[in-house]
Homo-oligomer: A and B are copies of this chain.
Amino acid sequence: MARSTAAASKPTKLTPAGQSGDLSRAQRLELYYYMRLTRSLEERLVNLYRQTKVVGGLFRSLGQEADAVGSAYALDRSKGDVLSPLIRNLGSMLVQGAKPTEIIKQYMAKGDSPTRGRELNIHYGDLVRGFIGQISHLGDMVPVMAGVTLSFKMRKQDRVGLVYVGDGATSTGAFHEGINFAAVQRCPLVVIVENNGYAYSTPLSNQTAARQLVDKAIGYGVVGERADGNDVIATYEVTKRAVDRARGGGGVTLIELMTYRRKGHAEHDNQSYVPAGEIDRWAAENDPIDRYIKRLLDEDFEESELASIDARVTEEIDIATDEAEASPMPDPRDALIGIYADPPALSPLWFREGIKSAVDVHERPSSWGTHDV
Contacts and interface: CB of A to CB of B under 8 A. Distances in A.
Interface string A202-215: 00011111110001
A205 B184 CA distance: 8
Contact of A172 (B7, B177, B218): B177
A219 interface: yes
A176 B216 CA distance: 11
A183 interface: yes
Contact of A219 (B8, B174, B177, B218): B218
A251 interface: yes
Given A5-B209, A176-B176, A210-B220, 13 more contacts: A5-B211, A8-B211, A171-B177, A171-B180, A172-B177, A180-B208, A183-B208, A209-B220, A209-B221, A209-B252, A210-B218, A215-B218, A218-B218
A132 interface: no
Contacts of A175: 176
A7 to B, nearest CB: 8
Interface string A316-332: 00000000000000000
Contacts of A184: 205-209
Contacts of A176: 171-173, 175-177
Contacts of A45: none
B3 A251 contact: no
A258 interface: no
Interface residues of A, number: 33
A373 interface: no
Which of A174, A176, A208, A221 gathers most chain B CB within 10 Å? A176
The 4 closest A-B pairs by CB, nearest first: A173-B173, A209-B221, A216-B219, A176-B176
A82 interface: no
B205 A1 contact: yes
A209 B173 contact: no
A109 interface: no
Contacts of A208: 180, 183-184, 220-221
B209 A8 contact: yes
A94 to B, nearest CB: 32
A175 B208 CA distance: 14
A163 interface: no
A108 interface: no
A222 interface: yes
A173 B251 CA distance: 21
Interface string A179-211: 010011010000000000000000001111111
Contacts of A183: 208-210
Which of A7, A207, A209, A221 gathers most chain B CB within 10 Å? A209
